[in-house]
Amino acid sequence: MDHLGPNHFLSLPRPDSLSSTASNVPDTTTLAAHDFDVDTRTGFLPPQAPISRLPATLECWEVVLEDAIASKLQLGEKPDLSDGEKKKSEEWRERVRKLPILSIDELKNSEIALRRAHQVLGWIMHFYIHSMPPSEAICIPPPITLPLLQVSAQLQLPPVLTYSDDVLYNWRLDSENPEELPTIAALRRCQISFTSTTDEAEFYLVPARMELAGVEALELMRSTMDEMFVGDEIAVRRITGYLRELADVIQRLRELLLSVREGCDPHRFYNDIRPWFRGEDSQAGRKWVFEGIEQDPNLVAPKELSGASAGQSTLIHALDVFLGVNQTSKLLKRMQTYMPRHHRAFLAHLANNPRPLRDLVFTAATSDNGQTKDGAALLDAYNGAVMALKEFRDAHMIIVTLYVIGPARHAQKALQESGQPIPTASDYVQQAPNDDTIGKDQEGLKGTGGTDLVQFLKGVRDQTKEAVIKI
């Protein structure tokens, strides 16, 4: 089922994180990519298509999720819900409440099966919560609470949909060959969605394509770190070249990010797709109560539940860590707790590099009063990579303005005026916003990750720009 070799660390028996720690925990103290679940060909994306079905004993989870998708359940907050749609949603939620409470024991030796369980149970929970009338208290029934929290404890992830559920493990290929590697061109279908629309699929697949494009960046980081251990003049020249290549890769990531506009309509995303994967942090005053948690004394109620967010991409965090920018952002640190734990270990290892790139650049640029040709070239290449990352974040702000801030403004206006036409992409801001185009009226707007969206984006962008070294 797992399509992995018997000696791959993900195929080894797993320790039961609810009871004890075993000696077969992967060693994440080396540069071995497999220990961090990073593939040299596909990066943070798995090299094989994620499994699309749980074991037969857990089939009822798959079936109830399929029923939700096939029934085209609607958001409970939708203002024009018909009585038939309300009844259909309630009947589906009743089926969820009547599910048996199943053991996850057979999943514990398979990281890949646990990922699928987290994904399926998370999707069921989000369907359950967001199809409810907004006036009802959010109580997650025990058949979902217990296995979801147990699976999440095994994976060391929060019990909520994350970027890895939506993006990393939510794609499929047309080919039936389980050994075929994913490519940017081949990523055209996702496994699960709330709306079964191409718009939603594209919103998940664009960042998946970016993960593949980022493989070259990871290789350039590795090559740079190898040269940094040498640190001579030849190494400085090679690192200069790597950084120039890295800037080009980041520019390609920016272009891929902006390509989401070609396949995902902003109005449909904001109104029909985005609300489904919001976390508790995005719903002021509506606490998520996990019923039945007392049945397992090993479980602990989660303290915060942010929804899936692009801020949970390990690739982008890796660029930050490598270049030495945004290291003090508490929000980015919090987003790392929503990443697969092996990817978190990768970031920790990268951050603990005893020879930080930024220090090397500064030293080379200031030696001999900054007159060395190699030092000046290295400084220029480093600053070019940092500015490429800043431009990537400008592009992110374009997307957020187009898909969230613009529609939010239209929604506010619609509350005051009647008969407004449905907005289109051309109605929204399509240039990189600055402090003037994102006004005071949008302060406090929450992202799906539960953050103050405007302040978060401004802060991260500005910190990136400030990382430019000025001699």
State the DSSP string of 23-42: TTS---SS--GGGGT-BTTT
Burial degree of 158 (CB within 10 A; 0-12, 13-18, 19+): buried
CA atoms within 13 A on the CB side of 23: 0
Cα(372)–Cα(112) distance, integer angstroms: 51
Strand partners, 140: 290
Rounded (10°) CA dihedral 206, 208, 212, 218: 110
Q: Is the CB of residue 253 less than 8 Å from the CB of residue 242?
A: no
396 marked among binding-site residues: yes
Nearest to 468 by CA among 325, 328, 369: 325
Nearest to 384 by CA among 407, 361, 411: 361
Cα(178)–Cα(316) distance, integer angstroms: 28
Cα(136)–Cα(129) distance, integer angstroms: 10
User: Residues of 90-126 as b/e, b for ≥16 C-beta within 10 angstroms?
Assistant: eebbeebeebeebebeebbebbbbbbbbbbbbbbbbb
Q: Is the CB of residue 382 less than 8 Å from the CB of residue 361?
A: yes
Query: Which residues touch 372 (CB under 8 Å, ≥6 apart)?
Result: 364
User: Residue 400 to residues 98, 260, 288, 389: CA-CA distances in angstroms?
Assistant: 39, 11, 26, 16
Cα(432)–Cα(31) distance, integer angstroms: 38
Q: Which two tokens stand for residue 305?
A: 């539940």
Cα(296)–Cα(419) distance, integer angstroms: 52
Burial degree of 147 (CB within 10 A; 0-12, 13-18, 19+): buried
Q: From the annotation, which residues make up the binding site for heme b?
A: 396
Q: From the annotation, which residues make up the binding site?
A: 396
